[in-house]
Structure 1
Amino acid sequence: MPHRIGKPVLGLVFFSMALLFVSDYAVAWPSKRISDITYVNPSTPGFDTERHQLDVYQPSRKSTEKRPVVVFIHGGSWNSGSKNIYWFVGRRLAKQGVVAVIINYRLAPNVEVPAMADDAARAVQWTQQHIADYGGDPDRIFVMGHSAGAGLAALLATDNTYFSRLGVAANPIKGAILDDPAGLDMYDYLKKMAYPNDEQYLIPFGKNPDVWRAVSPMYHVSKASPPMLLFVGGRTYPSIASSSEQFRQKLVELGVQHEFTLIPGKKHIPMVLQLFWKHNVIYQKLLKLVGTTR
């Protein structure tokens, strides 16, 4: 379905697992993984034992200075995906001097997108409160995501209300790295219903246009928004290409510091698979943004 803004990640799962077995034998990972940390108080209504967990990846090399932190939010059409698939992102970031936090969040049909964004904000809040214990700098937290996860990352970076509701005085996000983002303007997308099977997105987004607009970063970005890196595949879905270009134009109009990179020939899923290789352009530009010294 060439016009879908998301895609099941089953192929990515098998690819990732194959690389895991091969690479564990071939590479001595210079990082430490702390798995399955609960970031929401279990007494919180709606607590989910599996989905309210995150993993932290620390560089093994000691540093006298706190390291920059990247919180990665996975994609999966808002109804699938897991932090366990994206171990390679955590490993690669840690190998390059970044403390990485790879999160789970609740998914449709159990919750809708506003609750997913709340979960991601709670994960960032946990990071701000605890990442110093893992060598990270709580004053240098960046969010990153692919597909639906990139849309959530953009939403947290542009809409401060997710943090103010948690009692966080100021948005702690210092920048966003958006990899082939989906959901930048679901208000426009769902009003048009231009592609086959678009009704499926009414499950995670509901049927209220006010909600579609509220969870669309396009309507929250402002002059005060943090710096952003926006990467789009040259062969991605038309809806992602179109909304990303409109988002870029808005960043330009508002004077938000950003860099837009079109990666020729890349389809939607390969846009995240390339993160297995540490020398790809996304990591190159990310390291400059976060200011790591490795």
Structure 2
Amino acid sequence: MSAPIDAPDWRSLSQDDRDAGFNNSLAVKDSPAMLAGWELQSAEVRAAYPQHLDLRYGPRERNRIDFLNAGAKGPTLVFIHGGYWQARAKETFTFCAAGPMAHGINVAFVGYTLAPDATLDDIVSEVRTSIDYLATELTALGGDPDRMIVSGWSAGGHLSSMMLAHPRIKAGLLISGIYDLEPIQYTYLNEKLRLDKAMADRNSPMKQPGGANKPVAIVVGSGELPLLRKQSADFAAHRARHGLPVVYEEIPGANHFTIMETLSSPSGRMTTLARQLAEQVTGAR
């Protein structure tokens, strides 16, 4: 679980190289086409499951949840979208539900206010409120509020890690996330985030002592940017040092975008990890 040997020290990089080190869209040239494909696939899935879309959990426009019911009051994967806390929307990622739902796992897609209209403190608070809402409403929606697994991609991986301490969350599947926000303060991303040291530290799981004693799988693509791989490897090592349950995997050949194919496929590796976490949660009841 050590950091990849090809990961540079971000402090030693020039500004341009540091920015490029976190710029996934620049690194994956065909990412716009992939995102367009996700939008089309997601629209089809939403059309097939229109019953519980845009459930409002808070007062702001993007405080909404899409709940897709796989039936039989099963566990729920709470998925938080990425976009570096300042882009994208829950609707882009509905296509990912196909994998978990094939195994009887409900999926709830959480929306949240983007920076700069919200600070990172605000965003974390909104997502926490969405978990509170689901804990109250899942029974009526057809899920089991005692079997919630939090998951997310990129910025959503970070937000998922921040939700592990929530008492209603039983496990986590963290995908290509950021767990130490210090380097983000010194990149182009901070123009909208406006992080200062205090905000970055309190929202960095790597800066906190210990963590939630719950099953967690941390996943990243072997073809992702080295600084992103380092973030995941470092956070897995952090949990291991504190004796906390953790599985760390690099999906062979996957980049920051193609990794999501392993969740949308019923036989994909991340779907398998989600199923295994759901089984652990069920067995712990």
TM-score (norm: length of structure 1)? 0.80
> 1:3 — aligned with what?
21
Contact residue 42 and residue 92 of structure 2 kept, 8 A: no
1:219-257 per-residue CA deviation (whole Å, 9 max, x = no partner) reads 236254321011111011121111211111111111111
* One-letter amino acid of the structure 1 residue matched with residue 60 of structure 2: D
Structure-to-structure mapping, 1:55-66, within 5 angstroms: 55-60=66-71, 63=72, 66=73
> 1:48 — aligned with what?
60
Contact residue 222 and residue 255 of structure 2 kept, 8 A: yes
Residue 19 of structure 1 deviates from its aligned partner by 3.4
Report sequence identity in percent.
21
**Residue 228 of structure 2 corresponds to residue 235 of structure 1:** no
Q: Which residues of structure 1 form unaligned runs of 5+?
A: 41-46, 161-170
> 2:188 — aligned with what?
199
Contact residue 180 and residue 233 of structure 1 kept, 8 A: yes
**Residue 172 of structure 2 corresponds to residue 176 of structure 1:** yes
> 2:247 — aligned with what?
259
Q: Which of 46, 55, 59 is the equivalent residue of 1:37?
A: 55
Structure-to-structure mapping, 1:210-289, within 5 angstroms: 210-220=198-208, 222=210, 224-289=212-277
* One-letter amino acid of the structure 2 residue matched with residue 174 of structure 1: K
Name the SS for the 2:256 alignment partner. coil
- From the two aligned structures, give the one with the greater strand fraction: 1
Tell me how far apart the structure 1 counterparts of residues 211 and 38 of structure 2 sit (CA, whole Å): 38
Tell me how far apart the structure 2 counterparts of residues 117 and 185 of structure 1 sit (CA, whole Å): 15
Name the SS for the 1:137 alignment partner. coil
> 1:186 — aligned with what?
181
> 2:146 — aligned with what?
139
Contact residue 55 and residue 101 of structure 1 kept, 8 A: yes
Structure 1 residues 6 and 112: alpha-carbon distance in aligned structure 2, compared to 1, 3 A threshold: farther
Structure 1 residues 224 and 155: alpha-carbon distance in aligned structure 2, compared to 1, 3 A threshold: closer
> How many aligned positions are there?
258
1:181-240 per-residue CA deviation (whole Å, 9 max, x = no partner) reads 1x20012x146x3xxxx1332421x24201111111112362543210111110111211
Q: Which residues of structure 2 form unaligned runs of 5+?
A: 1-18
Contact residue 231 and residue 262 of structure 1 kept, 8 A: yes
* One-letter amino acid of the structure 2 residue matched with residue 57 of structure 1: L
Tell me how far apart the structure 1 counterparts of residues 74 and 237 of structure 2 sit (CA, whole Å): 32
Tell me how far apart the structure 1 counterparts of residues 209 and 250 of structure 2 sit (CA, whole Å): 21
> 1:101 — aligned with what?
108
Residue 138 of structure 1 deviates from its aligned partner by 0.9
Tell me how far apart the structure 1 counterparts of residues 154 and 264 of structure 2 sit (CA, whole Å): 16
Name the SS for the 2:108 alignment partner. strand
CA RMSD in angstroms comes to 2.4
Tell me how far apart the structure 2 counterparts of residues 269 and 84 of structure 1 sit (CA, whole Å): 16
Residue 6 of structure 1 deviates from its aligned partner by 5.1
Structure 1 residues 282 and 77: alpha-carbon distance in aligned structure 2, compared to 1, 3 A threshold: same
Contact residue 100 and residue 264 of structure 2 kept, 8 A: no
TM-score (norm: length of structure 2)? 0.82
**Residue 81 of structure 2 corresponds to residue 70 of structure 1:** no
Residue 5 of structure 1 deviates from its aligned partner by 5.4
Q: Which of 114, 118, 122 is the equivalent residue of 1:115?
A: 122
Contact residue 218 and residue 246 of structure 2 kept, 8 A: yes
Contact residue 5 and residue 239 of structure 1 kept, 8 A: no
Contact residue 5 and residue 77 of structure 1 kept, 8 A: no
Name the SS for the 2:53 alignment partner. strand
Name the SS for the 2:267 alignment partner. coil
1:117-150 per-residue CA deviation (whole Å, 9 max, x = no partner) reads 1111111110100001122111111100000000
Structure 1 residues 67 and 242: alpha-carbon distance in aligned structure 2, compared to 1, 3 A threshold: same
Residue 58 of structure 1 deviates from its aligned partner by 0.4
Contact residue 263 and residue 269 of structure 2 kept, 8 A: no
Tell me how far apart the structure 2 counterparts of residues 54 and 223 of structure 1 sit (CA, whole Å): 27
